[in-house]
Amino acid sequence: MTNPRSKPSLTSAQDRFIATWGQMGSTWGISRTMAEVHALLFISGRALCTDDVMERLEISRGNASMSLRALVDWGVVHRAHKRGDRKEYFEAAGDVWTMLQAILRERMKREIHPALASLAEIRDETRTTGEGVDEHNQRLDDMIALLRLFDEMGSKLLALDAQVMKETAETLVGGMDFQSGSPAS
């Protein structure tokens, strides 16, 4: 067991899960390591301490500490304690829907809201100064409308509790089979 890479055995599937999740996170603006730490906590299904994470993922203490803290800030992981143990433990939200909401909330806050604010400001300025061609303003308005729509959908999803959200999602998918004008490509 000294070298876990030597055979594709017990830990292999878990390793691959972690790698896949890390990969996915990195195309989503989350650092690879942070996503890997989250994957590890999520798939472990129990609270781990910093040293566990360091050892399992072969990362430095500093990196583990930073990543764990960021995950806590995002709200997808929470701190836990074991009595008689001074170490801090960390545990992922057990339920994917809760996890999804935490991610959604954070991304809305960090991306949609600032972008919306910025775009609205630009539009106002453009209006006030009479600057810009009508066509440009139209495009700006479209963009703003789209982001606002995201914003509203996000807010509504965040207002649901996890169980209701799950059901809603399933209903939406089920009910969305209205025939369209053009077929999928």
Phi, psi of 183 (to 5 degrees): -75, 160
Considering only residues 60 through 99, tell me which ones interact with DNA, judged by CB under 7 A: 60-63, 65-69, 85-88
Q: Which does 58 bind (CB under 5 to 8 A by kind): a copy of itself, DNA, none?
A: DNA
Closest approach, Cβ 26 to a copy of itself, in A, equals 8
Q: Measured between alpha carbons, how far is 18 from 25 in angstroms, rounded to an integer?
A: 10
Site stretch for a copy of itself (CB under 8 A), options 49-57, 66-74, 77-85, 144-152: 144-152
- Residue pair 100/71 in contact (Cβ under 8 Å)? The answer is no
119 counts as binding a copy of itself under rule CB under 8 A: yes
Q: Which does 98 bind (CB under 5 to 8 A by kind): a copy of itself, DNA, none?
A: none
151 counts as binding DNA under rule CB under 7 A: no
Question: Quick one: three-class SS letters along 86-149?
Answer: CCEEEEECCCHHHHHHHHHHHHHHHHHHHHHHHHHHHHHHHHHHCCCCHHHHHHHHHHHHHHHH
Tally Cβ neighbours within 10 Å of residue 89. Answer: 17
26 counts as binding DNA under rule CB under 7 A: yes
122 counts as binding a copy of itself under rule CB under 8 A: yes
Site stretch for a copy of itself (CB under 8 A), options 49-57, 60-68, 83-91, 172-180: 172-180
